[in-house]
Each structure stands twice: as structure tokens, then as C-alpha cells.
Amino acid sequence: MPAELTGREALALRMTSLLLRPHPTVSPGAVADVVEWFGAMQAQDLASGMWSLGVRLPAFTHADVHAALERREALRTWPMRGTVHLVPPRDARWMLELTGVRSLAGVAGRRAQLGLTEADADGALDVLGAALAGGGRLTRARCLAALEAAGIGTGDQRGYHLLWYASVRGVTCLAPNVGTEQTFALLDEWAPAARRPERDEALAILAHRYIRAHGPVTAREFAGWTGLTLTDARRGFAAAGDALAAVRVDGQEAFVDAALLDAPREPVDDLLVLPGFDEYLLGFKDRSLMLDPAHAQAIVPGGNGVFRATVVRDGRVVGTWKRTVGRARVTVAVSPLVPFDEATRTRVADALSRYAGFLGLPLHIDWPGAAASLPG
């Protein structure tokens, strides 16, 4: 019989799956370990993606994470849902072929809106392939200049569309920034040792990684995360086999990594400051275990898809925070969603101090109603 879990117990296991609490079978020591564990990590906002790694690698600084990306421990591309994720380099191509291509379904209509033709799009693949050949990388501006020089217009969002298209087609990928500038490289040159599983194996790999990094979850959640059909999601769960264990969360069937069944399920009064685009929220359609529906508007104002950074206590969202990074310090404005007593404010300040240490900058905190910024 599947183990019966309350919502609180399921949340405790989920926080462990997300590597936000100690895990019984894995202790990541490198960027590659974290990204491999998840299979894909939301990273459309680079600063959020960097802190998503930093919060799971407490000894790492921003410079350490950047250096790991330069060593190609992970790369950024558009593997699913038309959104940028961090993925293991050797898995980028099969993920693009399995899930990324689904975002091409409406590409003809979008091209028509932008005034692009299929010949423009195919020509862009050739231009970018030639411009990036040789193992180098080019800034976004130089990629767009190469397209313009070839007679392919890049104004009015056409350039972004063509750069996205080249990556989804597996020609390019996002390389680490140079300063603040986005750069692109050829996928075959940036990640030459591509893994090529058969489709059922690929579904099984992706399903197992999703479950072990997010569970307890359902096949419907997996379909939402990947953009796969529910049929394919269930096929992936079935193919993952004994690596999964069925549980029931408040009476609903869900699955976890079998190795997680012995993990602690008791409430833990921990406090974290997470980036807005972390898998903690972005990895799920149903966020009710972590987020009071009454606070959803505060996390995604207007439902525009832009997630605010969160203050998380005992696995639940209790506030938001917004950073302003300057040359001399980082200033963080905190917005509680529930009352913060003085002890909680101190814990939030301690958590934000770790974030400031990750950036290598002094911290100032703006509390609501405070007359001036307070040092963390």
C-alpha cells in the first residue's frame, strides 16, 4: 500500500527533494551535481539562476558559479516551454529534441506576425552557424549584427525570435555572460559529448529527475513542467519503474524518489531567501503546499509570469524581497506577507547576509515602515 502523507509531510519531503534541506542520498558539491540532479533548472533570469545554484551550494560565491559555467558544468538553452533553463551539457540536445521542439508548434504564426519567412529563419541558422564556428562565442549584439549584415532584419523582436529559434533547433546555446552581455556559442562545440537516448529512455530519465528533485508530484505536474502531453508524462513515469515510489498526499496519488521514503517528514523551522524563478515555485502548477492562494498576487503581480523573490519559512512563502545591486552594496527591500516579529526579522537578515556574501557585497535592508536602510 502507498504511504499516506499529510500535506505538511509532503511539503517536508518536497523541500528535501528540492535540495533545500539535507538529502539522505546526495550532497552536491558542484554546479554540475545540482543541475544533473534537477535535469533542468529555470534560468530565464540569469541572476535568479545563479542564486538558485548558490543557495544549494553554501560554500560557493557568484564568482565560483560563474567559473563553473565557464568550465561548461552546465549550459543555458530553451529545452522546454519556450523558457531558458540550465541543463547538463551532454543532455541538452536530446532534451531539445524531446521537449524543446514542442515550443515550435506555433512558430509559423509568430513568424508571420514578425514579418519573417521560413527562408529568413533557415538563413539565420546558416548565418549564426558560420559566425560562431571555431569554438568561440559572440555577444547578442554581434550575433544580431551578423544577421543584419546577411540581409536578415532583426528589429521589432525579430532578432530575439531568430536567436531563440536557433537554440531550439539545436544550432546555438547560451554561453556565460561576458560582463553583463549575453553570449551565444554553437551547441555542438560547447557540448560535443552529446548523450543520445532512445525516446522511451529519455522520457524515463527526465521523469525520474523531475520526481527526485520535486516529489511528491503527479504525472500531470510533470506534463506541466515539461510541456509534454499527459500520455507521454505517464509513459515516462511508467518507464522510470522501480526508481519511483507511490504515495498518497491527502488522499491523492503522487510519486517520490524511492530513496526519499526514509527522509524526515517532520516540520523544520528553517528560513530561506529564494530567487523568484526558482524551481521551488516554478517547478509546479499546483503551488498550494508552498503558497497560500491569498498571496499568489503578491508573488506574480498581475499574473504576468514575473515571479518575485520569496522569503520561505518552514517550506511556506511568508514574504518577498527585491534586490538593488550597486557597486558598493546590495540593498534589499523586504515585504512580509505575514507578521514578522523581531526574531524573524533577525533570521531574514541572516539569510540575506548569506546572499550578500554570495555576491561579495555589503548588505543594507529596507524594512517596511523603516525610516532608513538598516545594515544586515
The secondary structure of 100-120, three-state, reads: HHHHHCCHHHHHHHHCCCHHH
Contacts of residue 316, Cβ cutoff 8 Å, sequence gap at least 6: 11, 290, 291, 292
Kindly report the number of other CB atoms within 10 A of residue 148's CB atom.
14
E-strand ranges in the chain read: 3-5, 41-42, 75-80, 83-87, 138-139, 172-178, 181-186, 244-249, 252-257, 271-274, 309-313, 316-325, 330-336, 363-366, 374-375
The Cα–Cα gap between 364 and 366 comes to 7
Distance CA 162, CA 141 (A): 13
| Segment 64-88, tens digit of pLDDT | 999 999 999 999 999 999 999 999 9
pLDDT score for 106 = 85
pLDDT of residue 370: 60
Please provide the average confidence, as pLDDT, over all residues in the chain.
94
What is the structure's pLDDT at 376?
A: 47
At position 376, the amino acid (one-letter code) is: G
Domain at 291-375, CATH class: alpha beta
- The domain limits of the chain are 291-375
Counting as low any pLDDT under 50, the low residues of the chain are 371-376
Q: What is the pLDDT of residue 135?
A: 81
- 129 Cβ neighbours under 8 A, 6+ residues apart: 171, 186
Question: pLDDT tens digit string along 245-301?
Answer: 999 998 899 999 998 988 888 888 999 999 999 999 999 999 999 999 999 999 998
